[in-house]
Structure 1
């Protein structure tokens, strides 16, 4: 019954948004409310459950996406994004621009959250689209696929790291072994998927307000050094903090400062302040112009954030309605290979709940007792759970809505592009883990 409720709610969402043409924010809240009633959540508690879901979702994503959008717009209005895009095309050539995006996304995505890395790189992707006159998905999809792979498969991202701690696996070894799965799988899908006929038929436009419409002349562009410094500052701060946390004790001198400076919110705020100086008064632009750029970015993000927030409410209703507990009880006594069981449970939870973090933590709790006695490498068990958590991203996943809104896709096109690539990535990840199990 609980899984049937999930299935029917997904069908209802698709109907409301594709046939009725209802706004995504309204449709998600409406369906979430109905699901809450069906799952037996008290009428007096529904508003609290929705508010908690919205709050939990926005608490982590609002400052990151908001600040990231402002940094991107300030850089775009100053020509810095165009400068970086120009350098990438000169280094790799128009023919290899997808490879440039995959390499960039993987290097940045190893230590950065999907959402943070996405908002940092996407202005460059938008500018590359305009410079090369390529389809938006031809350039943007490889970036998103590479970031999804790094975020879902590998520590120090939250899901894999939490599972590693639960399984008492080495985070460093998990990262090292996981690269042999993540890099080839992510690169393969990133380069293949934009070439598939059903993706090539999509031709979305860049969302209004997220990137400047102006094309700069060469002598108007800022220097490469400053452009890269601003773009890479949050990467250095966040990655540096992640490396320090893996290699140093929590009580080591300076760790408090390192963690603070490496938090995504502060790193992006510091980057925005640097961008406002470098591309503002230093470059002859007034503070009023910079304020306009930030305001334009905020306005363009309003509907995106509302849809992502409603996705968080929908996800929380599914969790509070007991669906994760139902799946946990149903699968607890399955007699299957530990690696396959870990992956399969994560997939089921991901489909039902949407949240990769909930999927990995719940799946890990189910299979944790068998890790020690199975003789299977705990690092591979971590990877099995993590790979399963990326599968079947669809309308109950807030990340799905971020992907849809940034790439200006319809719900059906987003399902065709994102749901398929995340599912194939999960299957390739499982294959890689099983292959590694034969040699470890």
Structure 2
């Protein structure tokens, strides 16, 4: 019954938002209350789960969202995103930008938290979309989501990738060797398939896009647009203008790799902390904005960023509440008891089972990392009795954990707000591309299982 009530809650949230035009925050809280009470958690524990889930999400990513959105808002003052997109257009052309973005995210940046990636990547995706055809925004949104999560689950040191390898005792070097090929390959193929869907009527801007006033103002005030910069403004060079993005990425990546190497250094750990790294990026962005646009324009950009961040933080936090209520129901334990791998099962059955466990967990719980970790934890004790290479089982879990990221994920709501999409549009992009990526990678993993 827990699985049934979870399904009802998720469907009810989607229908309330899309069909009933109910605000996502209200719909999410209603879904939380229904699920908690219907599954037998009780009044007190339901409320506790909602508030604790909100607080946990804010503790983990609240500052990241705030700092990241403010960095993006300040970088508009220096024209950074428009100039970066212009450089990309000159280098790869508008048709290849989605593929360049998704490959970069799935190979170069997996060490960065997915929340940081989407906060810093969304403005680039939005700016690039303006130079493409009418499907530019959904295609760039799809490429962004695909690249982030293919890197997250397949490429070391992505959190899900490292967790799967650790639980299944797969050498990180071996996981990286296969994942660095499977990750970007899946991302590129997924982006191509999604682009074909868009050309065949998958997207309706009037219902799938929901631009907020803050995003519209930020884009309208982008230097290089029609209004331009104030007379006398001095633009920093593009490499310097990109420092608010590059410095946090380098610091976080360095901290991740040092930790993987087993080296303990308090200074590196401090600077590599995502919150500290993002704050340093914010300081650099603030200084550059003051030098470029002056005090007044910087203040306006900061205010716009705070307004946008507030909206994103509230809906993201309530999305975290839903995930906490689902966890409180004990659904993961129920799924763990339902599924078990038979010793000596055929290769196809074993791989499909590993994929299925992770897929169901992600669909229900709403967290890619939790689904991957839980699935690996379920399978790890019986891995020795499965006649399949551990790396194939690990990659199958990774592929399954991608499946259908949707409304019970706090990332879904961040993605929606930062890209300026409606809930329906987010389902048509984020949920769709993660589902496609999950299915695209599965046959490759099956083929690998037979070879190894």
Q: Same fold (TM over 0.5)?
A: yes
- Superposed displacement of residue 97, structure 1: 2.4
- Superposed displacement of residue 416, structure 1: 2.6
Structure 2 residue 385 is the aligned partner of structure 1 residue 382: no
Q: What does residue range 5-84 of structure 1 map to in structure 2 within 5 Å?
A: 5-84=5-84
- Superposed displacement of residue 153, structure 1: 2.5
Question: Greater CA deviation, 336-345 or 67-76?
Answer: 336-345
Gaps (5+ residues) in structure 1? none
Structure 2 residue 267 is the aligned partner of structure 1 residue 257: yes
- Give the counterpart of 1:238 among 252, 265, 290: 252
Distance 1:270 1:316 in 2: 31
Paired residues, what number?
434
* Residues 334/38 of structure 1: CA separation in 2 closer, same or farther (3 Å cut): farther
Query: Which residue of 2 is the match for residue 412 of structure 1?
Result: 424
Structure 2 residue 93 is the aligned partner of structure 1 residue 120: no
Distance 1:340 1:74 in 2: 47
Structure 2 residue 309 is the aligned partner of structure 1 residue 301: yes
Distance 1:99 1:333 in 2: 37
- Superposed displacement of residue 117, structure 1: 1.1
State the Cα RMSD in Å: 2.2
Q: What does residue range 294-333 of structure 1 map to in structure 2 within 5 Å?
A: 294-332=302-340
Query: Which residue of 1 is the match for residue 95 of structure 2?
Result: 95
Distance 1:130 1:306 in 2: 28
- Superposed displacement of residue 129, structure 1: 2.7
- Superposed displacement of residue 384, structure 1: 1.5
Distance 1:372 1:260 in 2: 39
Q: Give TM-score scaled by structure 1 length.
A: 0.92
- Superposed displacement of residue 113, structure 1: 2.0
Q: What does residue range 219-298 of structure 1 map to in structure 2 within 5 Å?
A: 221-246=235-260, 248-251=261-264, 255-281=265-291, 283=292, 285-286=294-295, 288-298=296-306
- Give the counterpart of 1:432 among 437, 444, 447: 444
- Superposed displacement of residue 131, structure 1: 4.7
Structure 2 residue 186 is the aligned partner of structure 1 residue 174: no
Question: Greater CA deviation, 373-382 or 315-324?
Answer: 373-382
Distance 1:277 1:41 in 2: 50
- Give the counterpart of 2:220 among 213, 223, 247: 213
Distance 1:408 1:123 in 2: 10
Query: Which residue of 1 is the match for residue 202 of structure 2?
Result: 199
Gaps (5+ residues) in structure 2? none
Q: Give TM-score scaled by structure 2 length.
A: 0.89
Distance 1:327 1:382 in 2: 18
Distance 1:38 1:315 in 2: 16
- Superposed displacement of residue 225, structure 1: 2.1
Distance 2:333 2:100 in 1: 43
Distance 1:117 1:241 in 2: 16
C-alpha distance after superposition, 1:359-397 (max 9, x if no partner): 112211211112233343323322221211110212212
Distance 1:259 1:85 in 2: 33
Question: Greater CA deviation, 290-299 or 169-178?
Answer: 290-299
Question: Greater CA deviation, 221-230 or 388-397?
Answer: 221-230
* Residues 14/206 of structure 1: CA separation in 2 closer, same or farther (3 Å cut): closer
